[in-house]
Amino acid sequence: MTTNHRIPKRISTAVINSLGAGVVPRIGLEYINVGRKDEIAALMQDLESIGEGGAAFRFVVGRYGSGKTFMLQLLRNQAMERNYVVADADLSPERRLTGSNDAGRNTYRELMRNLSTKARPDGGALAAILERWIANVQTQVMHEQGLDPDSPRFERAVQTQIYAVIDEMEGMVHGFDYAKVIAAYWEGHVINDDARKDAALRWLRGEFSTKTEARHALGVRVIVTDDDWYEYVKLFAKFVASIGYNGLVLLIDEAVNLYKISHSISRNNNYEKLLTMFNDTMQGKAQHLNIVMGGTPRFVEDTRRGLFSYEALATRLAQSRFVSKGLRDVSGPVIRLNMLDHTEIFLLLQRIWTVYQAQYKLDDIISDDDLRQFMQAVVNRLGADELLTPREVVRDFVGVLHLLRQNPTLTVAQLVGEQRFQQAKSQPAANDEFAEFTL
């Protein structure tokens, strides 16, 4: 196998550290991505539609370790490269779509905290988005109107263009107050009032807890609440599209936490909120907005507690009756991830080894025959091909590479031949209600 030492050290470090810990890296996914061509093509098609003013909602569904989070992170990186604003959040007992203790607003805050762009890929991009917009408007005024920044007419010309964008949002729900907050940020920029700019950012991030506080700081009478946070997401999607981005992509992972809500009324309230978001995007009420949610098959298909227990969602998400075994359809709202086949896993291991070589500047310490022997040992240990998830294979493989690097006399045959490696893990029963839960 050939070595590629041109992979940046920062990327190879992140990839190897993440894979060794059983988590998905935020960067460098293009070096290890294999398979999923149809699924990726469908998600890329959604991005094109969003850029033209449309909206979309997708569920990416698969078992734990099957690659859901990887797919979402790959979409995240691709979207930023294509000039989209991206926000991602994991649901949890404290972050839901709606609920007590501001569970819905907590999700909104997490999304806004994780706002990312190509220029700011690590989150916290809200202020940078606003500043870039203002700078672009100033540059446009200078070039198109020939005005010098010191000219008395320059500031008025910039303000005219700023308010032209703001005025477009006033017809939407809460659009007037949203526009007023954006205007407050611009005013703070003009007079160098950092406190006013910070107040506007706090409001946009949903950090004001009372309307009185917001009125005193910004002169607006509303704040982001648990009930209406999604309306502000739509406003923000409209705003970023108006200032030069292609749209807003929301990635919501760990949706199984909605399935885990024990109280049926609370669970159905979340499903009702999800239905509202789904209808808005699929019916064209939202613009420049793409929502992708990751979850397990049980979260979607369980008729007692999953999305299929909520009839309105079940009828919208059910597969076509003409999709039979051996046929796949990635055009619907639910994209189901199959397990990678042996060829794809073999290619995945080769690519991870290439990144590992780049990280540690190694010569060949493992061959293709070693990879095949490792794969066979993993299949035997797990007991069945259908239990072969990328996460388990990759984590074990990185561990083997670490051992081979630090113990030059060891061989793959010696490592995979050990009894503790060959011993099959205990697997939950197929009909176990909580088979997909991690304690």
DSSP per-residue letters across 388-433: --HHHHHHHHHHHHHHHHH-TT--HHHHHTSHHHHSPPP---TT-T
**pLDDT score of 366:** 81
**pLDDT score of 149:** 81
Using pLDDT thresholds of 50, 70 and 90, give the confidence band for residue 142.
Answer: confident
Cα separation of 207 and 204, whole Å?
Answer: 8
Q: Walk across the sheet containing 55-61 and list its strands.
A: 85-90, 248-253, 289-295, 55-61, 334-336
Q: Mean pLDDT over residues 168-196, rounded? A: 89
Tell me the longest C-alpha to C-alpha distance in the chain.
Answer: 81
What's the sign of the alpha-carbon dihedral 178, 113, 122, 195? Answer: positive
Give me the domains of the chain, ranges plus CATH numbers: 1-35+340-425 (no CATH), 36-117+245-336 (3.40.50), 126-218 (no CATH)
- Residues 203-244 have pLDDT tens digits of 999 999 999 999 999 999 999 999 999 999 999 999 999 999
Cα separation of 73 and 24, whole Å?
Answer: 8
Which is nearest to 350 in space by CA: 379, 376, 372?
A: 372
**pLDDT score of 172:** 84
Q: How far is CA 319 from CA 296, 326, 338, 396, in A?
A: 16, 14, 15, 35
**pLDDT score of 86:** 97
What stretch of H or E contains 360?
Answer: helix 342-360
The mean-pLDDT minimum among 107-111, 378-382, 396-400 falls in 378-382
Strand, helix or coil for residue 314: helix
* Residue 300 vs residue 168, higher pLDDT: 300
Strand, helix or coil for residue 376: helix
121-135 as b/e: b if 16+ CB within 10 A: eebebbbebbebbbe
Cα separation of 375 and 369, whole Å?
Answer: 10
Q: How many CB atoms lie within 10 A of CB 217?
A: 18
In one-letter notation, the amino acid at residue 202 is: R
Using pLDDT thresholds of 50, 70 and 90, give the confidence band for residue 417.
Answer: confident
Cα separation of 391 and 63, whole Å?
Answer: 11
**Tokens (6 digits) for 53:** 């003013």
R_g (Cα) of the chain, nearest Å = 25
In one-letter notation, the amino acid at residue 253 is: D
**Tokens (6 digits) for 381:** 């240990």
Q: How many CB atoms lie within 10 A of CB 402?
A: 14
pLDDT reading at 431 higher than 60 = no
